[in-house]
Amino acid sequence: MMSQVGFAPRGGELKHALPELWSQNVGDYVTALTVSADGTLVAVGTGRGEVWAFDVASGTLAFRVVAHREGVLSASFAPRGRLLATAGQDGEARLFDLSGSLIAALTGGSAWVEHVAWAPDGQHLVTTAGRVARVWTPDGRAVLETAPQESTITGAAWNRKGDTLALACYGGVHLIDPFKGSQVRGLAWRGSLISLSWSPNNAVIACATQESAVHFWRLATGKDSEISGFVSKPRALAWDHESKLLATGGDAVVSVWSFQGKGPEGKPPKLLTGHQALCTALAFHPKKPRLASGADDTGILIWQPSSSDKPVAFAFLEETVTALQWAHGGQVLVAADAAGTVRAWREPNPSLAT
């Protein structure tokens, strides 16, 4: 267990601990975390292929299944309806109902299925395995298989309308018609992209790179730019609900970049200092200008970056924070770690200050 240092409630340091609701342990590294559309269930996937689902309010176990023969790599509840999609190292994606019953197995081929992402209306699901993406219906019927991309697909996301699919790989981002398979547009970049995050207003696509930077494109103009200077690969990226702010990891310091006006070019980010080790997870509140961050130091911090560079509340897990997400419309924060801890806290009081 890593030592919990740096912002524990001592002396003049942070005084506001997040109010804990419950804590569970699934006995293995948590590789994925997702919250149901109604905010009542949280499901986590593990390195040995299990999926555990808990009631968000009480922590009561809803179901536990062996989803994959090897590790779970991704998990996502449908935005509408009552389905959970998982992806695994065994070369399959799987669909479960909310009781944990298997609905369909979606073959990914010989490669790991690394990503699953639902269209906004929940009527289609994309999975990626190696250089190929496939689109499925909620009953497990395949409707599209893309041509192989230049390299392994490292990120996949739908636009808000659900009529365009973005795929990241070495050489850039490809915007695909998810029903015809044809490329709508290409966003070229000579380098290796390792993640993809599409802003909620569909205006910007941001990708972390193998070169410890964040490359982004403004879709209206096609103009691209880059944010650099990170000490490591900034795998954690998060947009606020208004698409005004992009938070990035890549360091113990969390950087928050403003995309208002002309955007971040030539302007320094707001630097949020509090973690003692690399930031590993980020999630903006779905309705408020609040940001949750988790790190290798086992700590979770809550920030209000539009008004302050100081954290307003804190919590701890037992090991490296591997995932976190807001639930119940932002009333609950759920997080998990490398030791298998899954923990939930109530949202901090709006009047908290350091």
Query: Domain spans of the chain?
Result: 232-347
What local confidence, expressed as pLDDT, does residue 13 receive?
58
CB within 8 Å of 313: residues ≥ 6 apart: 14, 16, 17, 18, 301, 302, 348, 352
Q: What angle do CA 130, 195, 154 make, to 5 degrees?
A: 5
What is the mean predicted confidence (pLDDT) over 30-45? Answer: 96
In this prediction, residues 236-248 reach a mean pLDDT of 97
Q: Report the alpha-carbon distance of residue 99 to residue 118 in Å, rounded.
A: 19
Mean pLDDT over 131-138 rounds to: 96
Nearest CA among 38, 53, 37 for reference residue 99: 53
**Residue 1 pLDDT > 70:** no
Q: pLDDT grade, residue 271 (50/70/90)?
A: very high
Q: Where are the alpha helices (H) located in 225-322, listed in sequence order?
A: none
CATH superfamily of 232-347: YVTN repeat-like/Quinoprotein amine dehydrogenase (2.130.10.10)
State the pLDDT at residue 351. 59
Tell me the backbone φ, ψ of residue 330, rounded to 5 degrees. 95, 0
- Kindly tell me if the per-residue pLDDT of 131 is higher than 70: yes
- 181 Cα distance to chain centroid: 25
146: which 2 tokens?
């893309």
Q: Are 77 and 83 in contact (CB under 8 A)?
A: yes
pLDDT at 349: 74
Residue 9 binned pLDDT confidence (cut-offs 50, 70, 90): very low
pLDDT at residue 334 is higher than 80: yes
pLDDT at 14: 66
- b/e 230-254 (16+ beta carbons within 10 angstroms → b): beebbbbbbbbeebbbbbbbbbbbb
CB 157 within 8 A of CB 144: no
DSSP-derived secondary structure for 188-228: E-SS-B---EE-TTSSEEEEEBTTS-EEEEETTT--EEEE-
Nearest to 43 by CA among 94, 2, 91: 94
Phi, psi dihedral angles at 308 (to 5 degrees) = -155, 155
190-204 core/surface letters (b: 16 or more CB in 10 A; e: else)? eebbbbbbbbeebeb
Q: Per-residue pLDDT tens for 250-269?
A: 999 999 999 988 778 878 89
Instruction: Give the pLDDT confidence score for residue 10 in this predicted structure.
Output: 32
Token pair listed for 185: 């547009």
pLDDT mean over 46-73 = 97
CA-CA distance, 344 to 326, in Å (whole number)?
9
pLDDT at position 83 is 97
Strands ordered across the beta sheet of 30-35: 30-35, 41-46, 50-55, 61-66
Nearest to 256 by CA among 293, 221, 211, 288: 293
Per-residue confidence (pLDDT) for residue 348, from 0 to 100: 83
68's tokens = 């994959």
Per-residue pLDDT at 4: 43
Encoded amino acid at 125, one letter: L
**pLDDT for position 190:** 87
Using CA atoms, how far apart are residues 305 and 322, in angstroms rounded to an integer? 22
Which residues face 45 on adjacent strands?
32, 51
Q: Is the pLDDT of residue 8 over 70?
A: no
Task: Tell me how far apart the alpha carbons of residues 294 and 280 are, in angstroms, rounded to a whole number.
Answer: 6
**Cα–Cα distance for residue pair 234/84, rounded to 1 Å:** 28
Q: How far apart are CA 135 and CA 146, in angstroms?
A: 9
Helix, strand, coil percentages, rounded to 5, for the chain: 0, 45, 50
Q: Is the pLDDT confidence value at 354 over 90?
A: no
Instruction: Please check whether residue 127 is in contact with residue 108, taking contact to mean a CB–CB distance below 8 angstroms.
Output: yes
Which single residue is written with the structure tokens 């903006």?
284
